[in-house]
Amino acid sequence: MEPLHVLRPSAMRRTMAFAVQLALGAMLLWLGFVHPPASAAWQVFLIGLGLATLVLAQKGWRGSMQGIALDADGLRQEDGRPIAPLADIASVDRALFSFKPSNGFVVRLRQPVGNAWVPGMWWRLGRRVGIGGVTGGAETRIMADALSAMVAERDARG
């Protein structure tokens, strides 16, 4: 199915997010190995957190290679992985104080679809789906408005 809109992060945003996560992971590992705390438990915690940060950085880098596509069936990744089917979307929220990703929006579903997360791009937890992060605000706003119109049209048809 031909996408109506595809949301992709800019190369600069993607690179900056990856670099910050790599720097954090490296600093945590450096602290854990070069300047270890007095407690061995804290040292293990720092090293574990540093490794987890590096794994998440790598997962975010790979995940942000795939854009988020909006088509007549709803939101999906460009590789076809469904994010939020249009039939299950109850509302779209871009409010200033809502719990949403940076530069993004939240989709509320009628029923849970399952939890999933692609760092920096989208997350799905219960009945809420967050879209955004390393994506640009203007492009995300366009997608949110288009999705809102599609939901309103679907609801008007009954």
Determine, yes or no, domain membership for 117. yes
**Residues 109, 90 share a domain:** yes
Determine, yes or no, domain membership for 132. yes
Q: What is the 3-state composition of the chain as percent helix, strand, coil, each rounded to the nearest 5?
A: 45, 25, 30
**Residues 79, 137 share a domain:** yes
**Residues 153, 81 share a domain:** yes
pTM score, whole prediction: 0.82
Averaged pLDDT, groups of 10, the chain, 158 residues long: 87 93 97 93 96 95 92 92 92 82 90 90 94 89 93 87
Determine, yes or no, domain membership for 59. yes
**Residues 132, 74 share a domain:** yes
pLDDT of residue 23: 97
Q: Which domain holds residue 148?
A: 70-157
- The structural domain count of the chain equals 2
Helices (H), 2-111: 11-33, 40-63
pLDDT of residue 58: 95
**Residues 55, 97 share a domain:** no
pLDDT of residue 96: 74
Contact 120, 110 (CB under 8 A): no
Enumerate residues 6+ apart whose C-beta is below 8 A from 53. 21, 24, 25, 28
pLDDT of residue 100: 81
**Residues 24, 99 share a domain:** no
**Residues 124, 74 share a domain:** yes
**Residues 77, 24 share a domain:** no
**Residues 84, 51 share a domain:** no
Determine, yes or no, domain membership for 3. no
Q: In what order do the strands lie in the sheet with 68-71?
A: 5-7, 68-71, 74-77, 82-85
pLDDT of residue 90: 93
Name the burial class of residue 143, with classes exposed (0-12), middle (13-18) and buried (19+) by CB atoms within 10 angstroms of its CB.
buried
